[in-house]
Structure 1
Amino acid sequence: MPAPAGRRAASPRRTGREGRYGARVLVLLPPSETKAHGGDGPPLNLDGLSFPELTDVRRTLIRAVAALAEDVPASLDALGLSPRQSAEAARNAVLTTAGTLPALARYTGVVYDALDLASLSAADRDRATSRLAVSSALFGLVGGGDLIPGYRLSAGSRLPGLASLRSLWRPVAGPVLAAQDGLIVDLRSGAYATLADAPGAVAVRVLSEDESGARSVVSHANKHLKGRLARALVQIEPEPTGVDEVVEAATRLGLIAERRGSGAVDLISRVGAPVGAG
């Protein structure tokens, strides 16, 4: 299960080369708009996060959203929130003092329900912290075990006085991903994929197949199946090094997966079948 709120999750392994994961595979997850509340881990320590090359932009954005939080109407407008969601905007006012949780416990929603970290073995949970990273509008990328506070910021948010998040993140986060030594599996949503290029990554899309065999891109099963694939990639040993191993991992978990071209995978959701069962 995820590390308790006051206990640090296992930290991602490092190669000794700044900002790189030691694992041969890096699975990129989307974040969630909703996030778990609370956490009695220590306050945010930017120097303790994975991918330290991103620290300067992280610091800039934290200062910006914290300052913006002092003006509630402006904060709601910039974040695309309604007055009923003012408590969400208020979380940005205490980013540097609030309690933290490991990233994989902080993010919630369909992807993370399907990942179902709590039901994994201890060994699988350890692999999750070293293989999974989450794309974030505020932090750029965070490792699965990185301790972060609750916050509200989306990829499409515009902060007064700053360039777009895409303009801020691409020059620094893109090179971080380009420098990764091994396989990258990209499960990010479109908005977050624009924040950083992932050269050579295995692109994953979800298709619906009807009774006639016709297929179309769908959204209703997208998050669930990507969460299940993330689970499969945490469980498989040895670590996958190519597209065929990604397909194998998915198949072992009962998903229908097909290689597409030289560097992509399709997950198939069949009409009438339980979501996640193919």
Structure 2
Amino acid sequence: MLILLPPSEGKTPAPSGPAVDWSSLGFPDLNPCRAKVLDALGTVSAHEDALALLGVGASLRDDVERNTRLHGEPAAPAHSIYSGVLYDALGYRTLTPAQRRKADEAVVVISALWGALRFSDSVPAYRLSMGAALPDVGRLAPFWKAHLAGALGAAAQGHLLVDCRSSTYAAAWAPPPEQTVAVNVFTETGGVRKVVSHFAKHTRGELARHLLVRRGKAPVSPSDLLKAAREKWDTELVAGTARKPHALNIILPG
């Protein structure tokens, strides 16, 4: 089982420590692409219109300024750099050592800067969205889509892929639909369903945690995943097609 996560918008900078060691990162075939994006990000972030070019507000000026020196910024494991609703619900720090090892093996974060990261990969905090465009790189989702298939295809072989990404990050890689289950979250009141956003992040984080801490074997099929999710939620499984992944719908009370 692999659990695909989006990054968090906010990052928690490492207080100290060595800079990123490129040779230690997972999916090393992506390093030339990572270097290209990082250099382009540094150039844009040094521009006088950097905030507008990156589509962020004035409150994030310090984050954007940090982008200009990422080669030397302290790095820390991805699970401690990424923060926010989903990652708080996953609660890596409260996992047992065995559960942390499982998370380090199972979780893959799809990143606008790094392409894809293992949970234990050490990187600096940065500010970049998959919806951004950079000079000599272009729109990041199409850029990474051209490179992630090869890098992640081998890692995905033989695994059920539990896709907890948002649509922005799902656009960067379309894994094999027959072995992928996209996780959706709805509320239901009086038989009427509504898609939720904030609670979707929280619930996807809770699902990831549940899959990491529950006893027994990890799910190896969509039906196994449905059984595991039903241990905590009202859920349904919508079968996929040759071009569309399966969907696990989690229904929360309205």
Q: Distance between the aligned counterparts of 1:152 and 1:91, measured in 2?
A: 8
Partner of 1:98: 73
Partner of 1:18: none
2:29–2:151 Cα contact (<8 Å) kept: yes
Q: Tell me which amino acid in the other structure corresponds to 1:26.
A: L
1:247–1:257 Cα contact (<8 Å) kept: yes
CA shift digits 1:19-62 (9 cap, x unpaired): xxxxxx11000111100122434211222111122111101011
* Of 110, 133, 147, the match for 1:158: 133
Please state how far the C-alpha of 1:203 moved relative to its aligned partner: 1.2
* 3-state SS, counterpart of residue 221 of structure 1: helix
* Identity %, equivalent residues: 35
Q: Distance between the aligned counterparts of 1:80 and 1:154, measured in 2?
A: 9
2:238–2:247 Cα contact (<8 Å) kept: yes
1:63 aligns to 2:39 (yes or no)? yes
Q: Tell me which amino acid in the other structure corresponds to 1:45.
A: D
CA shift digits 1:67-124 (9 cap, x unpaired): 22322x2321221122332101011112111111110111000100110112222211
Partner of 2:243: none
Partner of 1:184: 161
Partner of 1:227: 205
1:246 aligns to 2:225 (yes or no)? yes
1:258–1:267 Cα contact (<8 Å) kept: yes
Please state how far the C-alpha of 1:264 moved relative to its aligned partner: 2.1
* Of 91, 104, 112, the match for 1:129: 104
2:6–2:164 Cα contact (<8 Å) kept: yes
1:221–1:269 Cα contact (<8 Å) kept: no
1:52 aligns to 2:35 (yes or no)? no
Q: Distance between the aligned counterparts of 1:36 and 1:220, measured in 2?
A: 20
CA shift digits 1:200-236 (9 cap, x unpaired): 21111111111x2222322232101100111112123
Q: Distance between the aligned counterparts of 2:15 and 2:4, measured in 1?
A: 24
1:257–1:265 Cα contact (<8 Å) kept: yes
Q: Which has the higher helix share?
A: 2
CA shift digits 1:226-268 (9 cap, x unpaired): 001111121233121011222232233x222222225221111
Give the alignment's Cα RMSD to 1 decimal. 1.5
CA shift digits 1:148-175 (9 cap, x unpaired): 1000100111113432112211111123
Q: Distance between the aligned counterparts of 1:39 and 1:84, measured in 2?
A: 20
Q: Distance between the aligned counterparts of 2:146 and 2:17, measured in 1?
A: 31
Q: Distance between the aligned counterparts of 2:218 and 2:168, measured in 1?
A: 28
1:268 aligns to 2:251 (yes or no)? yes
1:209 aligns to 2:188 (yes or no)? yes
1:177–1:197 Cα contact (<8 Å) kept: no
Please state how far the C-alpha of 1:193 moved relative to its aligned partner: 0.5
Q: Distance between the aligned counterparts of 1:64 and 1:140, measured in 2?
A: 14
Q: Normalising to structure 1: TM-score of the pair?
A: 0.83
Partner of 1:218: 196
Seen in structure 2, the aligned counterparts of structure 1 residues 161 and 41 have a Cα distance that, compared at 3 Å, is same
5+ residue gaps, structure 2, are 241-245
* 3-state SS, counterpart of residue 134 of structure 2: coil
5+ residue gaps, structure 1, are 1-24, 272-278
* 3-state SS, counterpart of residue 37 of structure 1: coil
1:140–1:169 Cα contact (<8 Å) kept: yes
Q: Distance between the aligned counterparts of 1:154 and 1:60, measured in 2?
A: 16
Q: Count residues in correspondence.
A: 244
Partner of 1:89: 64
